[in-house]
Structure 1
Amino acid sequence: MPPFLRPRLAALLLAPVLALAGCGEAPPASSGAGFAGLGESAEGYTQARPGTPLRFPEDHGAHPDYRIEWWYLTANLEDEAGDPLGVQWTLFRQALSPPEEAPPEARPAQAPWVADQLWMAHLAVSRGERHAVAERFARSHSADPSEGRAGQAGAVAQPFRAWLDDWTLATRVEDPDADTFERLTLTAFDGEGQERVGYRLELTAEGPLVLHGDARFSQKSSDGQGSMYVSQPFWRVEGEVVLEGETHAVSGQGWLDREWSSQLLGPEQAGWDWFSLHLEDGHRLMAFQLRGGGEAGGDYRSGTWITPAGEPRALAPDELVLTPLATSSVAGREVPTRWRLEVPAAGLDLIVEAPHAERWMATTVPYWEGEVVARDHATGAPLGLGYLEMTGY
């Protein structure tokens, strides 16, 4: 994309919902439309609702009738020497206008620069105190016949491929009749020489997809807003990571989230804290806290306790306790980087802490995203690894 176009596109991306990734340069005040506009009404779009049927492989691809969605991968890895690394890759889509009622073949021809879909992708690599970040933007039109195959950005279900420019998450399965989401390759690099950063990773699913929430719908506020939410928390990851021009062979485990919605939050919700944990006994845990939007003006919490076999148990707001214990000064903000996380129904009482606080995503829409270590609250024994995302600080 020509550099002179990027400020305009970046400004558009700050509209609801690509701001889903974080906050502006200062913590946002409540506007009555929820954090970053995610509580605004979304007339004309399809709404995420309990009981909405999911269809795979179709739902691995884009949903242009919904206002927002993302493909969000995080991974806790080790290099050849056993040193930890973290990686993130995220592709966001935002519709600029509700879908037209007329079928594509009946719509007027679109001018080359007309777009009804905006895309943003983020890349991050973390190792010790080092944290490298890159981002890219693109546009597309959902009525374009090339959309989904040869456009600048898009996502198709079968064979699976999601991309922005040459940043690509794509299937390694050659049989078009098989589940082409089970084995993927992620390729994303940015910069040259000592500034080179990125990765080529092979993802192999060693467990099933997990459906969150109630009837496939993940509620985000007591008023009923939410999203369709599916995860693949069982990725085995192998490949190579480049950081500051150095290449490292890596392996580890990853977590990929898929969400789509049109009105994600309630009007008074100011940000969120989201955890994904791989525990050493094979269990997985997803937990989040939306600040505001709960009963009597409190916070709204939810999560999913996942067995080693991939069987999910939805956690109600009163079954999950998240308590910030300590903050770190990051990018001029006080960000909670040490938490107590309790799930009494699972006998779980954890201290979840970021070993390195400097994980600020200094992107157009900034936020905090980094690796965490989970330990037993009583004994301090290590119990797992994961990722934490925090917005609105």
Structure 2
Amino acid sequence: MNVKHCAIRLRAALGLAGVLALSALLAGCDKPAEAPRSGFAGLGADAAAFALVERGKPLRFPADHGPHDGYRIEWWYVTANLKDASGKDWGVQWTLFRSALRPGAEVQGFGSPNVWMGHAGLTSPGGHRYAETLARGGIGQAGVTAAPFRAWIDDWQLHTTGGRDIDQLSMQAAGKDFSYQLQLSTNRPLVLHGDGGYSEKSGLGQASYYYSQPFYTVTGDIVVDGNTVPVTGTAWLDREWSSQPLAATQQGWDWFSLHLDSGAKLMLFQVRQTDGPPYRAGTWIAADGTPRALRGDQIQLDPGASSRQDTGRKVPTQWRVRVPDMQVDVTAEAAQPRAWMGTSFPYWEGPVRLTAGQGGAPAGRGYLEMTGY
């Protein structure tokens, strides 16, 4: 397939999560157009050539903070719920995706198998802004080192400033009319999702390795339209890597990372099916950091009001979130309903406010990501 045809396919991939589509479609440019397709977005066509996710394989730190040669896709993902001195809500997203065109270790020069994509988002009291940058591996423009930890693409940075592993981080990014410089700190252990970090994404064996650090406190500055705004708050880092995370009948996901006012944290997701009910899973994280894996039958996610984005798409920006076993029954509502990331592979990503009970008492804050709409 030639470059022009690849570009057409890339622009046509509306509704797929950015890194998944990037991996599948770029890989499609390296093989004949008539190659058989199976699995989500073609990932199953040659996934056996990439490393497989296996239950029972222990995660190792600090090595797993770095890139994983042989796996097709992975990401370093930070979301932050922030407030300024007047109590107004702000939200920040920093993401670096690595996508492999073929299995193999990183090499210097354009023979590198990796491509990189960075996304930065800022949700302010006045609206939502985003930026995107792309890079080819092997030339120093983007990359990750595990120890000391550093992730970068161009001048966007997420790197350690001391402490153990990733306990203390500095994070910065900039778009044409915004930037942020934030300091993240925690003394809590990492949280492994699923079965010791083995996170299933369907009932057919699709899975990823997945861990988080949901206990960061944040200080720093946001600059928007030339004005500097000091902010404080909380942040959540997600790390995930795989080679075939979704099945052919799965069309997108809804993903929640929630900071409850009780001190507990809650990660929930559902992967929507074309042939039946969604696949759901999650993790309850007690205030002391102890995790408990949640099955799909323990989770209820019901969309409420929808909001039309600038593109014309409508997405549900209000959800009722229930986990009866954990006495959770809250409404998650977007702080800014129009938080569309109009990147090469578009999706919705933004902060949410949590309320509980008929009176809508504040219950926490968090982030919501929605793809495939």
Q: TM-score, normalised by structure 1?
A: 0.84
Question: Quick check: 1:257 aligned with 2:262?
Answer: no
User: Counterparts in 2 of 1:366-381, with a 5 A limit?
Assistant: 366-381=346-361
| RMSD of aligned alpha carbons | 2.7
Q: Deviations over 1:47-104 (max 9, x none)?
A: 112111110000000112110000000000011222111000100000000227xxx8
- 2:20 is matched with 20
* 1:296-307 to 2 correspondences below 5 Å: 297-307=276-286
Distance across 2 between alignment mates of 1:13 and 1:152: 27
TM-fit CA distance, 1:380: 1.6
CA–CA separation in structure 2 for the residues paired with 1:379 and 1:352? 14
- Which secondary structure does the structure 2 equivalent of 1:172 belong to? strand
1:211–1:231 CA contact under 8 A, matched in 2: yes
Compared with structure 1, are the counterparts of its residues 319 and 281 closer, same or farther at alpha carbon in structure 2 (3 Å cutoff)?
same
Paired residue total:
355
Task: Write the distance in 2 (CA, Å) between the matches of 1:277 and 1:40.
Answer: 35
Is residue 123 from structure 1 mapped to residue 123 from structure 2 by the alignment? no
How far has the Cα of 1:270 moved from its partner? 0.3
- Return the letter of the residue paired with 2:71: Y
Look up the equivalent residue of 2:247 and give its one-letter code: G
Of stretches 242-251 and 38-47 in structure 1, the one that deviates more from structure 2 is 38-47
Q: Does 1:85 align with 2:90?
A: yes
1:274 aligns with 2:259: no
Distance in 2 (alpha carbons) for counterparts of 1:79 and 1:317: 37
Cα displacement (A) at 1:35: 5.1
C-alpha distance in 2 between matches for 1:61 and 1:221? 26
SS of the residue 1:43 aligns to: helix
Q: Distance in 2 between matches of 1:246 and 1:85?
A: 14
Gap runs ≥5 in structure 1: 23-30, 142-146
For each residue in 1:312-339, what CA deviation from the matched residue of structure 2 results, as whole angstroms up to 9, or x when unmatched?
0000010101111221111211101111
Tell me which amino acid in the other structure corresponds to 1:90: T
> Partner residue of 1:48?
53
Q: What per-residue deviation string (whole Å, max 9, x for no partner) do you get for residues 83-134 of structure 1?
A: 111000100000000227xxx8xxxx87x43331000000111112321111
Of the candidates 217, 220, 225, which is equivalent to residue 198 of structure 2? Answer: 217
Residue in structure 1 matching 2:165, options 170, 180, 183:
180
Q: The residue matched to 2:47 in structure 1 has which SS?
A: coil
Residue 358 of structure 1 is aligned with which of 338, 342, 350? 338
Q: State whether residues 10 and 364 of structure 1, in contact with CA within 8 Å, keep that contact through their aligned partners in structure 2.
A: no
Question: Does residue 343 in structure 1 map to residue 323 in structure 2?
Answer: yes
Deviation at 1:189, TM superposition (A): 1.9
| AA of the residue aligned to 1:179 | R
Q: 1:317 aligns with which of 289, 296, 301?
A: 296
Q: Any conservation in 2 of the 1:74–1:88 contact (CA below 8 Å)?
A: yes
Structure 1's 87 and 21: CA in aligned 2 closer, same or farther, altered over 3 A?
farther
Match of 2:141 in 1: 152
**1:288-325 Cα distance to aligned partner (Å, 9 max, x none):** 000018xx732100000000111000000101011112
Asked if the contact 1:10/1:137 (under 8 Å) is kept, the reply is no
The answer (yes or no) to whether the contact 2:19–2:73 under 8 Å persists in 1 is no
If the length of structure 2 is used for normalisation, what is the TM-score?
A: 0.88
**Are positions 1:61 and 2:66 aligned together?**
yes
Q: CA deviation at 1:21?
A: 7.8
Distance 1:328 1:96, change over 3 A: same
Deviation at 1:215, TM superposition (A): 2.9
Look up the equivalent residue of 1:340 and give its one-letter code: R
Equivalent position amino acid for 1:182 in 2: D
Query: Structure 1 70/345 Cα, relative in aligned 2: closer, same or farther at 3 Å?
Result: same
CA distance in 1, matches of 2:337, 2:21: 18
Counterpart of 1:188, as a letter, is A
Instruction: For residue 10 of structure 1, report the CA deviation from its aligned partner.
Output: 10
**Residue 157 of structure 2 corresponds to which residue in structure 1?**
168
Displacement of 1:180: 3.0
Once residues 271 and 299 of structure 1 are traced to their aligned partners in structure 2, the CA distance between those partners, rounded to angstroms, is 10
Whichever residue aligns with residue 183 of structure 1, its letter is Q
**Offset at residue 283 of structure 1 (A):** 0.3
1:34: how far off?
A: 5.2
User: Could you tell which deviates more after superposition, 31-40 or 51-60?
Assistant: 31-40
Distance 1:234 1:10 in 2: 39
Deviation at 1:40, TM superposition (A): 5.0
2:185 to 197, 204, 209: 204
Moved over 3 A (4+): 7-22, 31-41
Distance 1:39 1:130 in 2: 39
